[in-house]
Amino acid sequence: MEEKSINFAAIPQTAVKVLTSPAEFFKTIPKTGGFIEPLVFALIMGFIAGIIHAIVGILGIGYIGRTFLESLGLIIFVPIIVVIVSFISAAILFVIWKLMGSKENYETSYRCVAYLQVLGPVAGILNLIPYAGIILSMLLGLFFIVMASIYAHNIADKKAWIVFGIIFALLLIFQIKAEYNLRNMPPTTKEVREKMEELNRQYQEHLEEAQRQAEEARK
């Protein structure tokens, strides 16, 4: 069978449609067609999210990527993690959706998860807000996963909100705890060394100034 080519030019429009009209998008999402197209979409969203995290790390306003090289590494690291996690998440959600009464297969589940990766760059920006960013990201994720449940998997809206509301509430607790641990992570050996060198430099400057003043006083 001839492999379907990827329309890279349509990816920005797809991303906008998912973000602005999730109900309509998941109502009309193709449930077959292979994994390549949604995988590429998820990879590109992961790449964009990686760039955002890298910039945040380089500017020193985030808690991921403590050094310049670590921050640059996120451009490669984040897309790889997104791809791996997308398959794992799709498998977990496939089981959950099946238990909730979905008739769709794993491919449909993966396609939903892959297009939900459009939230990655959004979360990267929201997470600049300490703790509140995590809450906003989780609420946004909850809304979009419920939309996918209702319109792509034909699950009753009340059931979708209750089940995923409980799941996301538990995840939120772990996320906030994880952010607290990251923001209060002890400094690395390099950071301690740099701090000690700076303190030593300041001490030497004060000592030299004191010696200069003492010499002037003896004149």
Cα distances (angstroms) measured from residue 144 to each of 66, 115, 141, 164, 181: 31, 10, 5, 11, 27
Looking at residue 191, its pLDDT comes to 54
Query: What integer pLDDT is reported at residue 128 of this predicted model?
Result: 80
Please write the tens of the pLDDT for every residue from 37-96: 999 999 999 999 989 888 887 776 665 555 667 777 888 889 999 999 999 999 999 999
Query: What residues contact 138, with CB distance under 8 A and at least 6 apart?
Result: 168, 171, 172, 175
**pLDDT, the chain, mean:** 83
pTM for the full predicted model: 0.74
* pLDDT digits 0-9 by tens, 18-54: 999 999 999 999 888 889 999 999 999 999 998 988 8
Domain positions in the chain: 8-185
